[in-house]
Amino acid sequence: MTTIDGLSDSEIRFAGRLVARRRVFLGLTVAGVTIGAGLAAFYGWRWAHDPAFPIGPRAVIVLLVLLNARQSLRQYRQAGILHKMMARSEGGAPASS
């Protein structure tokens, strides 16, 4: 493998694996937002029917799920940018994925 902009072979392989997982990151983002919204609706419904239902710990869980989805979205976007940069360095057009 040739080096791209001074990257070693192991760094190029790492970047290739990141680009290959781009769709996985998008799927994790969609799943995280869906699960977070579903949990928020369920816990809200439970709290509406039982005011003694402890909503605080559940809100933390929802927040953590949504933050995880946000990180997956960030990785998805970074993988897309890295794919374009690698294709430009190799002199070819990026393949659609």
Q: What pLDDT, in 10s, does the model give residues 14-56?
A: 988 999 999 999 999 999 999 999 999 999 999 999 999 999 9
Confidence of residue 95 (pLDDT cuts 50, 70, 90): low
The residue length of the chain stands at 97
Please give the DSSP secondary-structure letter assigned to residue 96: P
Tell whether 52 is covered by a domain.
yes
Q: What six digits make up the tokens of 97?
A: 């994925």
Closest CA to 25 of 83, 70, 89, 82: 70
What's the number of domains the chain is made of? 1
| Segment among 40-44, 63-67, 86-90, 93-97 with least mean pLDDT | 93-97
Burial (0-12, 13-18, 19+ Cβ within 10 Å), 39: middle
More confident residue, 66 or 94: 66
Residue 59 or residue 1, greater confidence: 59
In the prediction, which pLDDT does 1 show? 46
Whether the predicted pLDDT of 2 surpasses 60:
no
Q: Residue 57 falls within a domain, yes or no? A: yes
- Which structural domain range is residue 24 located in? 9-90
